[in-house]
Structure 1
Amino acid sequence: MGGAEVLDLARTAIWVTIKIAAPVMLAGLAVGFVVSLFQALTQIQEQTLAFIPKILSIFIVLMLTLPFMADSLNSFMVTLSEWIIRG
């Protein structure tokens, strides 16, 4: 396996990581922004107020996107094993 194949594999691995992490991170970001906006508008400065909505939203997004994540990882592993077999 040459340098170009290794770079292609690394690029594919990074892209799969971004695809898998993006929905969860975006959900946490969106809920955190909404809660922060709510806190700023109502002047409630409770630090623990943001945790429960973030945890619930991340859990829901994980449940909804878990099949997509598993399929992405599975296809990446198949591609990786094909590259290893080819040598």
Structure 2
Amino acid sequence: MGDEAANAAHHRIAGPAFGEFVPVTASEADTVTVPDGFTVDVVAPWGMPLRGTGPGWRADGGNTAAEQARQVGSHHHGVRFFPLADRRGLLVSTATAP
């Protein structure tokens, strides 16, 4: 999977109420597909620094364990952003072990 596709796999979906959509056809394409009326946005891609001063993601997979501890990990899903007052919000993500 290419860098762009890997990052696109970590997304949020916005659109009609959940359950009010026509399912997409299963595919082996290296892409993210959502039902008509929905959109996909990358919110927290693998390797993104958790803080502005954190280490960046290395495309060669060469980040150390210490660097990865300060980055968004892989295998996360269900990323949701809950807006709060004053331009602040809470980003919630669940993860599964590989």
Q: TM-score, normalised on structure 1?
A: 0.24
Task: Name the one with the larger strand percent.
Answer: 2
Q: Rg larger in 1 or in 2? A: 1
Greater share of helix residues, 1 or 2? 1
What is the TM-score normalised by the length of structure 2?
A: 0.23
Greater relative CO (CA pairs within 8 A, separation 6+): 1
